[in-house]
Structure 1
Amino acid sequence: MKITRITIYQVDMPLTEPYCLSGGRLKFEKLDSTFVRIDTDEGISGWGEGCPWGHTYLPAHGPGIRAGIETLAPALIGQDPRSLEHVNRVMDVQLPGHPYVKAPIDMACWDILGKASNLPLWQLMGGEEAAPVLVNSSISTGTPEEMLTLIDRAAQNGYTVHSAKVGGTDIGLDIDRIEAISEGLPKGHKVTFDVNRAWQPAVAVEVLNSVKARDWVEQPCETLDQCAHVAARVSNPIMLDECLHTFGDHLQAWKHGACEGVKVKPNRVGGLTKARQIRDFGVSVGWQMHVEDVGGSALADTAAIHLAASTPEANRLASWLCHYHLDVDPVPGQGARNVRGVAVPPSLPGLGVTPEEGALGDAVAVFGG
């Protein structure tokens, strides 16, 4: 089997309402998503999606994906998409770094492998069943009262796990947010306080040693070294996210004892192949993990849910679904959806999500025959 054609689509996806994180420092209103279709000489096609969360959240942006694929495409035409590690090595030689560019290509290759083997991705990734995965709500920064209102609204839709965005310039207000939310959670619910790297180490130590709450705290500072400094001085379990881009970063986090858990995001680390490698390492060292993507439609969300469902339950926390924040749905009715707080991956061969003809508009680029 050989790759014969790579087709690229660009889709603007407005959010249903503006979204703020990092204490309101970062604000988002629209996402720029790239959909990739890979065709083969055996008539099997696969789909992938790459969608950065804006261009200020991580070193990634929508136009960069499309420019990067233009660079990679000549080396990918003629390769066997089922040889996942080989395809990734080819991409890494042709374009060092830029993992977010490679993620939709890798996803589409996984989709082809699943269809060729007549197996769903969750099974190819080691899962015993299409396990239900808890869905994590995402609570935008606001006053304690506003954030508790959003949590109550999420609870009415079945969510029992929440990610509350904190990390403002007002230390007292952050302390109030954390205490109010931790105390005001519905019975049996859990919360992670996501700082999105907004605090300096001294602020993180001050805030977390001032609160009674002992819930998870995510990415308190910008760098791995700063987060490790904080982790050694507080009692809250630390979750790392934005400072982890490669397997080597995850290895260093473990060596430094910088966290008790990590976010595993295929688009951030280069695709499902590398995300699975990181997931397996996390299982081996006893981490707990949120497996989810950076952004995107139900297509990208579903790919991450396949990986999450194949993760041992003891190591699996909840997964966030970006598509519930979007005002458009390019794959209506398909894929992993929130049903009373859980999402289940499809058991169709491959990814189990196929955009309908014309749903993505006209192609912006075609490479190959």
Structure 2
Amino acid sequence: MKIERIDLYTVDLPYAWGVYKLSGGRSLTSFDATIVRITADDGTVGWGESTPFGSTYVAAHARGVRAGIAELAPALLGRDPRRVERINDAMDAALSGHNHARTPLDVACWDLFGKAVGLPVCDLLGGSTDVPMPMISSIPARAPEEMRALVAEQRERGYRAHSIKIGALDAEGGPALDAERIATSLADRRPGEYFLVDANCGLLPESVLRMIQLLPDGLDFVLEAPCATWRETLSLRRRCPYPLVVDELSQLDADVAMVLDQDAADGIGLKISKAGGLTPGRRQRDICRAAGLTTSVQETTGSAIAFSAIVHLGATVPARMLRGVLNTQDMVALRTARFDAPVVDGGILPTTAPGLGITVDEDVLGDPVQTWEA
């Protein structure tokens, strides 16, 4: 099997609930998605997606994804997509960094690999635990009672984990508003629910410490990505009474290793495109498992194509270490593909179909904006 053709598509994914607000006054109403189709010489196709969360979340943006793919795609033509490590070696040789650009190519190769051998991607990544995975909702930073209502709505839809966005500027209400957001969002907490309080690197250590002093006793949550730098994060780590999870700061394998070396956190938010695809994602999964770091498997955002990769990788994380998978397809109002993953007892399982198990709606994607052929 050899890669014969690579097609690149773009599509706008509107945010499903209007305006998404997060720390530092940032807001988004839609997401610019890049989708890749790789066709092998036997006609088999594989799909992958990269959808940055705007251009100020991590060092990635949609036009950069497409420019990066233009550098990478020619280097993959004629190669065997099943040899995923060698595919990544070829991408290393063609372009330094640019994980978001590498991701859709890497994921599409895994989709092809699974179809070629008749197995779902999770089996190729080590095998599903067969334990239904809690899905994580994403609750934007809004008025406290509005956030409480959004949590209740997602709870009724079966979500058992919730990512609560905070990070108010002082002019917006600062630590007092964020403390109220947390307490109100957790007011109706049910047994077995898991709450991530996520600042998306938008706070200073001082702001977090002020906020903590305003919280009532007995709240059960983990603090995710409070600060923008390692220095700030390590400073806060020594003084924070809540478990700490890193996300945006942890991108490379070396970053995960540094978390261990510095005892910087208790868990990792493993986003596939932030890592560079499923190939480096499985390495980071294994490092976390060996070190006892809890893991949530996520994406910056994305449609059903991105969500399918999340579910397959998440299914291979031991249940006691997995805190949930982010349902990105519910965050957007456009369906690019059908992904019929079963939901059992409030948790999701991967499909047993070969590859990612998706059926892409090519009418939604339209014509490719760029193509490379062997």
TM-score range for the pair, normalised by the shorter chain length:
over 0.9
SS in 2 for 1:193: strand
Out of 291, 295, 301, the position equivalent to 2:301 is: 295
Q: Separation in 2 of the partners of 1:22 and 1:334?
A: 28
Mapping for residues 155-174 of structure 1, pairs under 5 Å? 155-169=155-169, 170-174=174-178
Give the 3 Å change call, closer, same or farther, for CA 130–368 of structure 1 in structure 2: farther
**CA root-mean-square deviation:** 1.7
Instruction: Kindly provide the CA deviation profile for residues 230-249 of structure 1, in whole angstroms up to 9, marking residues without a partner as x.
Output: 11111100011011110111
Q: Separation in 2 of the partners of 1:191 and 1:276?
A: 24
Out of 253, 257, 269, the position equivalent to 1:251 is: 257
1:52 has 2:56 as partner: no
User: What is the Cα deviation at residue 199 of structure 1?
Assistant: 1.0
Aligned AA for 2:180?
A: D
Q: Separation in 2 of the partners of 1:199 and 1:34?
A: 30
1:196 has 2:207 as partner: no
Out of 343, 352, 359, the position equivalent to 2:357 is: 352
User: What is the Cα deviation at residue 88 of structure 1?
Assistant: 0.6
Mapping for residues 122-133 of structure 1, pairs under 5 Å? 122-133=122-133
Q: Separation in 1 of the partners of 2:230 and 2:275?
A: 16
User: What is the Cα deviation at residue 21 of structure 1?
Assistant: 3.8
Give the 3 Å change call, closer, same or farther, for CA 158–214 of structure 1 in structure 2: closer
User: What is the Cα deviation at residue 286 of structure 1?
Assistant: 0.3
SS in 1 for 2:365: coil
Show the counterpart of 1:305.
311
SS in 1 for 2:364: coil
Q: Separation in 2 of the partners of 1:269 and 1:15?
A: 23
CA contact (8 A) 1:198 1:220 kept: yes
Give the 3 Å change call, closer, same or farther, for CA 65–339 of structure 1 in structure 2: farther
Show the counterpart of 1:368.
373
Show the counterpart of 2:84.
84
Gaps of 5+ in 2: none
Mapping for residues 172-183 of structure 1, pairs under 5 Å? 172-183=176-187
Give the 3 Å change call, closer, same or farther, for CA 235–41 of structure 1 in structure 2: same
SS in 2 for 1:317: strand
Mapping for residues 266-305 of structure 1, pairs under 5 Å? 266-305=272-311
Q: Separation in 2 of the partners of 1:184 and 1:82?
A: 47
Aligned AA for 1:289?
A: T
SS in 2 for 1:314: coil
User: What is the Cα deviation at residue 128 of structure 1?
Assistant: 4.2
Q: Separation in 1 of the partners of 2:369 and 2:124?
A: 32
SS in 2 for 1:18: coil
**TM-score normalised by structure 1 residue count:** 0.95
Give the 3 Å change call, closer, same or farther, for CA 247–334 of structure 1 in structure 2: same
Aligned AA for 1:75?
A: A
Aligned AA for 1:67?
A: A
Give the 3 Å change call, closer, same or farther, for CA 129–255 of structure 1 in structure 2: closer
1:37 has 2:41 as partner: no
Aligned AA for 1:89?
A: D
Show the counterpart of 1:336.
341
SS in 1 for 2:280: helix
CA contact (8 A) 2:144 2:180 kept: yes
CA contact (8 A) 2:194 2:323 kept: no
**TM-score normalised by structure 2 residue count:** 0.94
Aligned AA for 2:17?
A: E
User: What is the Cα deviation at residue 210 of structure 1?
Assistant: 4.1
SS in 1 for 2:358: coil
Aligned AA for 1:368?
A: E
Sequence identity (%): 35
User: What is the Cα deviation at residue 357 of structure 1?
Assistant: 4.0
